[in-house]
Every structure is written in C-alpha cells, then in structure tokens.
Structure 1
Amino acid sequence: MLELLFLLLPVAAAYGWFMGRNSVKHKELKGRASITRNLSSGLNFLLTDQEDKAIEQLLELLDIEAATIETYLALANLFRRKGDWDKAIRIHEKLHQLKLPKPQAQQIQFELAKDYFAAGLYDRAEKLLVNLVRAPQLAELALKQLFSIFIATHEWQKALQYQDAVLQTDSRSLRIALANMHAEALAADNTSDLQLLNKLADSCPAAIRPKYALATAALQQQNKPLAKSALRYIVEHKPQWSADILPLLQQCELAAEEWYQLLSQLANKHNNISAVVLLADWLAEHGSATAAEHFLLDKLRQQPSIRLFQKLLQLRQQQSAPAAEALSSVEELVNAYLAKKSLYSCRNCGFKTRKHYWLCPSCQQWETVEPIGGIDGR
C-alpha cells in the first residue's frame, strides 16, 4: 500500500502542475478578455461621441496595462489639438502617476506642462518645466516652452535667470529670444544706458533688437559714431532690414562717399529697393536727374518694382511742369495702391502687417517679422 502511495505522488504532482498551469492561463485569458472588453467599450464611446465616458473607460486600463503609453499620448495630443485641454490634462495626469522609466516619465511631464500652458495654467506649467531644463533630451524644448510662458505673462526678468541654460544649448532662436526679452526688460525700466545696451548687443551678435536699441538710444544722446557703427552692422549682416535702417543712418551724417559706397553695395549686391531709391536721390543731387532716371530704368528692367516706378514718376515730374501735370494722376493711383500694401511679413509663418513687431503676433517668434521684398516691397 505504501509503495502504491509513492507511485501515485508523481501523478498527483503532474496533475497539480497541469491544473495550476491551466488556472494561470485561464486568469491570463480572463484578464486579456477584460482588457479587450474595456478597450472595445472605450473605442465604442469615442465613435459615438461620448468622449467623457470613453476617457473614463480607457483610463481604467492604465491600472491593468501600462504598455500602451504611446497610444494614450497620441490620444491626449489629439484632444489638445482640438482644444479639449481638460481631457488631455486628465490623461497626462493619469500617465504621470505611473512608475515609468525616467525618459518616458519626463516626456509625459513635458506634455502635461504643454496642456497646462494651453489651458492658461501658467504656474503649473512652469513648475513642471523648471525640472526639465536640466534633462538632456528635453532642455531646449523646456526652455522654449518656459519662454512662451514669460512672453504671455511679460515676466522678462524671469527669462534672464536661464541665460546659462540657454548658452548650454545650440539653439540660435533661444539666444535671440533671450536677447529680445533682455531688451524688453530694459525698455520696461526705461533704461537708455549705452554701456548696458552695448554689452547686450555684444552678447548676442545674431540678434538685431539690441543693436537697434543701442543705435536709437545713441542717436537720442547725439552719439552718432556709436549709432552709425550699430546700424552699419545691421545692414551689412541683415540687408533685408535696410528699409528701416537706412533712414536712421541718414541721421548719422555719413560722408558723401561713404553713403554712396554703402548704397551702391546694397543696391547692386543685394538688390535692395530702398537703397536703389536713395541712390537715385544721391545721383540726382550729385550728378543729374537724367543720370538718376537712367539708373532707375536699368534697375526696373532687372527688377520690376512698384516703388521704383513710383520714384521714376517723381523724378520725371520734377523735370517739367507738363510732365508733372500729366503724371500726377498716375502717381496718385500708385500711392493709393502702395498705401494698402503690407510693409512687413513673418518669414516663419507668413503673417503680414503694415506695422513692425519684434515678436510675431501670429507664431510668437522673435525677429521674424521683416520688411517685405518683391514687386511691392521696399
């Protein structure tokens, strides 16, 4: 009898192992069935426009299965793009509570900060982003999002606290943004200290705003050599800004030959319309109206432009009274046409305006709104 018992023990063990395995499989299948049922239910709610119920149903799955994080991130981003920030926040907050690998957790934290920003919850967004400035993969994105908050709240001084972090990145746009916000902070304090403005201009050569602020302040203080240096730097590195910079340079009282050389370079090398118009004035003053007219005709053949045509009309009217009488109505039409045209355009988003903005009102990028070129441009 005892021998029979020992013979039956392996059979009992094998039976127990087999039944246990079946039980585990049964639980796994039951769990999967539950997940599938909840997922199907959630998708059905989405398809029937019952989004609140869908979110509740899908969020329950996070307690069971955390391997589908990317799916939830995509869903939350979809809600954010639609403007349903509360739904996006709920999903990202739920994901943020999960114990995930650090890179994935930081990415979710960044997405949640973007939700808060979109919903106008700037304080919450800032608290999350501050912790991401030192994250290697997200530092640049976190700084850009932080700067968006400071732009919205006009907290320019806060932006200056991140100067070291900006310099550790390779982002040119972040450097330009920081320089512009520094200029905004100085403007808010009514600071026209030439030494401070000069230091700011030297700290970010890629930015135009500090050089422009330095030049205008120097002109107000009758420091024309300093103003000329700053303005020449702008037109030499950013000739597309000549339409706004050349009138200021005229106030610096450049020597006739220096003025001629500068205008010639901008007109012939860069085909700048404003430079061509001013060069025609120089030729009419130092040469003859005929020379200026021939110059404008040559340029018009090379580069059709309404403003060059307008200047040609003005020159011909100055030559004789009959011409002035005959062309006055044409000039009025040209003036009316140009009066309705935009003067600036954002190279980033295409926003057009007759007023200059250092910060594009449309895409919120610094120094992208530039004088327009082309047939109607300056």
Structure 2
Amino acid sequence: MLELLFLLLPVAAAYGWFMGRNSVKHKELKGRASITRNLSSGLNFLLTDQEDKAIEQLLELLDIEAATIETYLALANLFRRKGDWDKAIRIHEKLHQLKLPKPQAQQIQFELAKDYFSAGLYDRAEKLLVTLVKSPSLGEAALKQLFSIFIATHEWSKAKQYSAAVDATNSRSLRIAQANMQIEAQKQSSDTNITLIAELAERYPAAIRPKYELAQQAIQVNEKALAKSALLYIAEHKPQWAADILPLLQQCNLAGEEWYQLLSHLANKHNNITATVLLAAWLSEHGSATAAEQFLLDKLTQQPSIRLFQQLLQIRQQQSAPAAEVLSSVKELVNAYLDKKSLYGCRNCGFKTRKHYWLCPSCQQWETVEPVGGIDGR
C-alpha cells in the first residue's frame, strides 16, 4: 500500500501542475478579455463622438497594460493636431507617470512638452525640454522646441546658454537660429556691439544676418573695408541676396573694374536681375546707351523679366526725346504693376511679402525669406 502511494505522488504532482497552469491561463485570458472589452468600449465612445468618456475608458487600461503605449501616443498626437490640447495633455501626463524604459519615458516627456507648447504653457514646456537637451536621440529636437519657445516669448537672451549644445549638433538651422537670436538679444538691450557681431559672423558662417548687420554697422562708422568684405562673402555664397547687398556695396567705394567684374559675375553666372539692371546702367554711363540696350535685349531673350524691361524703357527714354512721352506712360504702367508685386518669398513655406523678415512670420524659420526671382523678381 505504501508503495502504491509513492507511485501516485508523481501523478498528483503532474495533476497539480496542470491545474495550476490552466488557472494561470484562465486568469490571463480573463485579463485580456477585460482589456479587450475596455478597449472596444473606448473605441465605441470615440466613434460616437463621446471623446471625454473615451479617454477615461482608455486611460483605465494604462493601469493594467502598458504594452500598447504606441497606440496612446498616436491617439494623443491626433488630438494635438486637431487642437484638442487638453485631451493630448491628459493622455501624455498619464503615460508620463508610468515606470518605463528611459528612451520611451523621454519620448513621452518630449511629446508632453510639445502639448504644453501648443497650449501656450511655455514655462511647463521649457522645464521638460531642458532635461532633454543632453539626450543622444532627442537633444537636437529638444533644442529646436526650446528655441520655438524663446521665439514665442521673445526671450532671445536665453538662447546663448545653449551655444555649446548647438555647436555639438550637426544642425545648420540651429546654428542660424542661434546667430539670429543673439543679434535680437543685442537689439533688445540697445547694446549693439560691432565686435560681438563680428564674432558671430565668424562663428556662424552659414548665417547671413551677422555679416549683413556687420556691414551696416561698419558703413555707419566708416569702416568700408570691413563692410565690403562681409558683403562680398554674402554675394559669393548667397547670390540670391544681391538685390539687398548691392546697394550697400555701392557705398563701399569699389573700384570701377571691381564693380564691373562683380556685376558681370552675378548677372551672367547667376542671372541675377538686380545685377543685370545695374550692369546695364554702368554700360550706359561708361560705354554707350546702345551697348546697354543691346545687352538688355540679349538678356530679355534669355531671361524674360519685367524689371529688365523697365530698365530698357528708361534707356530708350534717354535716347529718344520724341518717344520719351509715350515711353513715360508705358513706364508708369510697369511701375504700377511692380508696386503690387512681392519683393520677398519664403523658400520654406512660400510666404510672400514686400517687407523683409529675418524670421518668417508664417513658418517661424530663420533666414528663409529671400528676394524673389522669376519674371517679376529682382
């Protein structure tokens, strides 16, 4: 009998293991069924436009199951895009309370900061972003979001404390933003320092504004050589800005041949309208009106432009007194047409304006608003 009991022990153990396993499976299945019911209920609320109830129902699942976080992130981002920032914030705040792996926790923190920014809660957003600046994966994005806050609040001086972090990235746009905001900080304090602007121009060669501001300041204090150097750098690396820099270069006492070579380079290699107009005027003054007229006719054949036609009218007015009155009427019509055209356009979002902005009012990007080209451009 005792031997029989020993033989039955393995059977009893096996039975106990089998029943225990089934019990665990039963609990798992019950838990999953509960999650499925809650999820289905939440989705039904969404489909029937009962979003508040849907959020409450779905957030309850976070206490049970954190494996579906990507779904919640997608839902919160959808609310943010729709402008329902309070709903996005509630979801992200709930996610932020969970104990998650660091990369996932930081991503949720970054999304919550974007919610706060969208809702105008800049101080809360900044507090979250500051701790993400050193993150290997999110550092650059956090810096860009921080700079968006400084732009919104006009706290330009705050950008300077992140100079080292910006230099550690490969972001060209961040360097341009850093240079512009430091210049804005100087203007805000009414302490424009030509030495500091020169340092910014050297430190951030991708940015146009430091060199442009440096040239303007240098002209005011009669340092024409410094202004000339800065403007020629822009002409070489950003020829599309010729419409704005050539009038400044005319104040820098360029030698006749040097001025001619610069205009020829911009007009013939880069097809710049302003340079072509100024070159035609130079030819008319130093050569002959006939040569200037032929030059413009050739250019108009290759590159139709209202402004080149305007210059051609002016030269023909000077050549022919009898035709001057008729041409004057045509010129007035052309001038009226051009007076309504945009002078600048944002290469990033397409915003058009007659006034120049260093920061695009539409897409909030620095140095993307440039002189317009094309048939109506400069």
User: Shorter-normalised TM-score: what interval?
Assistant: over 0.9
Q: Does 1:149 align with 2:149?
A: yes
11-20 or 120-129: which moved more?
11-20
> Which residue in the other structure is 1:253 paired with?
253
Q: Shift of residue 289 of structure 1?
A: 1.0
> Which residue in the other structure is 1:277 paired with?
277
User: Could you state the TM-score of these two structures normalised by the residue count of structure 1?
Assistant: 0.97
Mapping of residues 285-324 of structure 1, within 5 Å: 285-324=285-324
Q: C-alpha distance in 1, partners of 2:266/2:57?
A: 65
Q: C-alpha distance in 2, partners of 1:193/1:228?
A: 18
Q: C-alpha distance in 1, partners of 2:234/2:308?
A: 23
> Which residue in the other structure is 1:58 paired with?
58
Instruction: Tell me the secondary structure at the aligned position of residue 345 of structure 1.
Output: strand
315-324 or 185-194: which moved more?
185-194
Q: Does 1:345 align with 2:368?
A: no
> Which residue in the other structure is 2:330 paired with?
330
Q: C-alpha distance in 1, partners of 2:156/2:80?
A: 27
Q: C-alpha distance in 2, partners of 1:228/1:14?
A: 92
257-266 or 15-24: which moved more?
15-24
> Which residue in the other structure is 1:188 paired with?
188
Across the two proteins, how many residue pairs are aligned to each other?
A: 378
> Which residue in the other structure is 2:244 paired with?
244
Q: Does 1:73 align with 2:73?
A: yes
Q: C-alpha distance in 1, partners of 2:192/2:258?
A: 28
1:181-228: CA deviations, max 9, x gaps? Answer: 111111112233322221111111111100111111111112211111
Instruction: Tell me the secondary structure at the aligned position of residue 360 of structure 2.
Output: coil
Q: Does 1:33 align with 2:33?
A: yes
> Which residue in the other structure is 1:111 paired with?
111
Q: Shift of residue 66 of structure 1?
A: 0.8
1:335-371: CA deviations, max 9, x gaps? Answer: 1111111111111111111110000111111000000
40-49 or 216-225: which moved more?
216-225
Q: C-alpha distance in 1, partners of 2:8/2:287?
A: 121
Instruction: Tell me the secondary structure at the aligned position of residue 252 of structure 2.
Output: coil
Q: C-alpha distance in 2, partners of 1:22/1:320?
A: 105
Q: Shift of residue 22 of structure 1?
A: 2.2
> Which residue in the other structure is 2:24 paired with?
24
Q: Does 1:266 align with 2:266?
A: yes
> Which residue in the other structure is 2:48 paired with?
48
Q: C-alpha distance in 1, partners of 2:233/2:4?
A: 103
Instruction: Tell me the secondary structure at the aligned position of residue 304 of structure 2.
Output: coil
Unaligned runs of 5+ in 2: none
Instruction: Tell me the secondary structure at the aligned position of residue 370 of structure 1.
Output: strand
Instruction: Tell me the secondary structure at the aligned position of residue 345 of structure 2.
Output: strand
Q: Shift of residue 5 of structure 1?
A: 4.7
- Give the letter aligned to residue 265 of structure 1: H
- Give the letter aligned to residue 278 of structure 1: L
Q: Shift of residue 97 of structure 1?
A: 0.9
CA RMSD for the aligned pairs? 1.3
1:21-57: CA deviations, max 9, x gaps? Answer: 2222221111111000000000000100111111111
Q: C-alpha distance in 1, partners of 2:340/2:110?
A: 43
User: Could you state the TM-score of these two structures normalised by the residue count of structure 2?
Assistant: 0.97
Q: Does 1:227 align with 2:233?
A: no
Q: Shift of residue 255 of structure 1?
A: 1.4
1:104-145: CA deviations, max 9, x gaps? Answer: 111111111111111111111111111111110111101101
Instruction: Tell me the secondary structure at the aligned position of residue 98 of structure 2.
Output: coil
Q: C-alpha distance in 2, partners of 1:263/1:174?
A: 32
1:247-266: CA deviations, max 9, x gaps? Answer: 11111121111111111111
> Which residue in the other structure is 2:168 paired with?
168
1:68-96: CA deviations, max 9, x gaps? Answer: 11111111111111111111111111111
- Give the letter aligned to residue 72 of structure 2: Y
Q: Shift of residue 98 of structure 1?
A: 0.9
Q: C-alpha distance in 2, partners of 1:152/1:4?
A: 84
Q: C-alpha distance in 1, partners of 2:308/2:74?
A: 53
> Which residue in the other structure is 1:361 paired with?
361
> Which residue in the other structure is 1:102 paired with?
102
Q: C-alpha distance in 2, partners of 1:354/1:168?
A: 37
Unaligned runs of 5+ in 1: none
187-196 or 245-254: which moved more?
187-196
> Which residue in the other structure is 1:211 paired with?
211
